[in-house]
Amino acid sequence: MEDNVRQAKKVMLSGIQPSGDLQLGNYLGAIRNWVARTEEFDNYYFMADMHTITVRQTPADLRRRTLEQLAIYIASGLDPEKNTLFIQSHVHQHAELGWVLNCYTMFGELSRMTQFKDKSARHKENINGGLFTYPALMAADILLYQPDFVPVGEDQKQHVELCRNIVQRFNGIYGDVFKMPEPYIPKAGARVMCLTEPDSKMSKSLPDGCVFVMEKPEDIARKFKRAVTDSDTERCVRYDPANKPGVSNLMTIYAAVTGKSYDEIETEFAGLGYGAFKPAVGEAVIETLRPIREEASRLIQDKAYLEGVYRAGAEKASYVAEKTLRKVYKKVGFVQR
C-alpha cells in the first residue's frame, strides 16, 4: 500500500554542487524548502560532484565537502528513508545519458548559456569542454528520473528551458521517451543577498559577506555586526529594497528565520536603529543554524552511517535511472548489453 502511495506522488529532483561549503542562502533558498516538500513529492536530491570539476578542485576538499553536504542535508531534516539522497558520480547513468544528450544539444544553444560566459570570464586559464557542455549533463540529471518538477532559482531557469528544448527535440525524433519537466518556483523562497554587497547574491566567492552553515557562532555574529546597512540619515528598520537594499536584505533573512512579517519586524525595532537590529538578526541566524551544525558535526563522525545512506541512495537512483537509459539506448540504436 505504501509503495502505491509513493508511486502516485509527483517526482521532484534537485542538487547542489559541493564546490564550496554550504551557506545560509543554500539552506533558506533550497534545502529548507526541500524538507517542507518531503511528504508531498517523491524526492531525489544529490551532491552534484561531477559538475563541480568543471572548475579545478583540491580532491581532498571535494571529498570532505561532498560528505559534509550529505550530513547537512540530513541534519536539516531530509530523512533518507523518505528522500533519495545520493552522490552524482555514484550513479553512472548520469555520465552515460549526458553524452547522448550532448549529441542532441546544439552548439548555438550551449554558447548562449550565461553561466558559461560568466565562468569563462572568471576562469580564463581553464575554459574546458565540460564547462561548455555541462548543461547537457544537467539535462541528463533531470531526465533520468522522469521528474514532474525541478525546483529552480532565477539563475537556473535558462538550464531548465534548454532541458525542455532537448526533450522536445528527442521526443520529436523517437516518440514519447522523456517526460517534459516543469520548473517549480517556490511560493515564498528567501533570496539571500551578500552582507557586504547587498546588490549581489550571497556567495562563497564573497566570504566576508557569506554566512556558512557550519560556521562558528562568534564568526556569524561578527559578520552580521559588520553587515552593510545604508548611508541614509533615517537609520530606521524599514523594508525598501530599492532605497535600502542592505537593511531590506537583513529583514528578509530575519523574516525567513523567525517567521515574522516585515511589518512586525519594523514595529519590533521601531526607534532602535541598526545597532540593535544587526546583532538581533545574527543571533536569530545562529540559533536557526545551531541544531543543524551540531547534528551535522555528529553525523560527519559517523562515516559508516553516511556510507550506508549514500550507498542506498545510489542503488535506488541507479535502479530508476537505468530504466530511462535502457529506453534511450534502444531508441538511438545501440545494441542491448
In the beta sheet, which residues pair with residue 15? 46
Q: Which residues are catalytic?
A: 119, 201, 204
Q: Which residues of 174-192 are buried (b: 16+ CB within 10 A; e: fewer)?
A: beebbbebebbebeeebeb
Burial class from Cβ neighbours inside 10 Å (0-12, 13-18, 19+) for residue 332 reads middle
- Give the chain's mean pLDDT: 90
Per-residue pLDDT band at 307 (split at 50, 70, 90):
very high
Q: Which CATH architecture has domain 2-190+303-332?
A: 3-Layer(aba) Sandwich (3.40)
Residue 320's alpha-carbon distances to 3, 78, 146, 330, in angstroms, are 14, 20, 9, 16
Average pLDDT over residues 96-115: 90
Label residue 118 by pLDDT band (50, 70, 90).
Answer: confident
CATH topology of domain 207-297: Tyrosyl-Transfer RNA Synthetase (1.10.240)
> Which tens digits make up the pLDDT trace of 158-201?
788 899 999 999 999 999 999 999 888 766 556 899 999 998 88
Checking phi first, is residue 279 left (phi over 0); if not, alpha (psi -120 to 50) or beta? alpha
**Rounded to whole angstroms, how far apart are CA atoms 174 and 73?**
37
Check if 2-190+303-332 and 207-297 are the same fold.
no
Q: Does residue 91 carry a pLDDT above 90?
A: yes
pLDDT at 185: 73
User: Sorting pLDDT into bands at 50, 70 and 90, what band is 85?
Assistant: very high
Q: Is residue 3's pLDDT more than 70?
A: no
Tell whether the torsion through CA atoms of 177, 183, 186 and 190 is positive or negative.
positive
- Residue 175's region, left for phi above 0, alpha for psi from -120 to 50, else beta, is left
Band of residue 145 on the pLDDT scale cut at 50, 70, 90? very high
266 burial via Cβ count (<10 Å: 0-12, 13-18, 19+): middle
- Please state the rounded mean pLDDT for residues 51-58: 92
Kindly write down the DSSP assignment for every residue of 66-126, as one continuous string. HHHHHHHHHHTT--TTTEEEEEGGG-THHHHHHHHHHTTS-HHHHHT-HHHHHHHHH-GGG
Whether residue 49 contacts residue 89, with contact meaning beta carbons closer than 8 Å, is answered with yes
What local confidence, expressed as pLDDT, does residue 1 receive?
A: 44
What is the model's pLDDT at position 325? 98
Overall size of the chain counted in residues: 337
List the beta bridge partners of residue 182: 149
* 249-276 average pLDDT score: 92
* 24: nearest Cα among 278, 158, 207, 155: 207
Has residue 140 got a pLDDT over 70? yes
Cα separation of 84 and 13, whole Å? 9
pLDDT at residue 25 is higher than 70: yes
**Site of grid cell 557550519:** 214
- 295, pLDDT greater than 60: yes
Q: In the chain, where are the structural domains located?
A: 2-190+303-332, 207-297
pLDDT at 90 over 70: yes
Query: According to the model, what pLDDT value does residue 299 have?
Result: 98
Q: Is 20 exposed, middle or buried (0-12, 13-18, 19+ CB in 10 A)?
A: middle
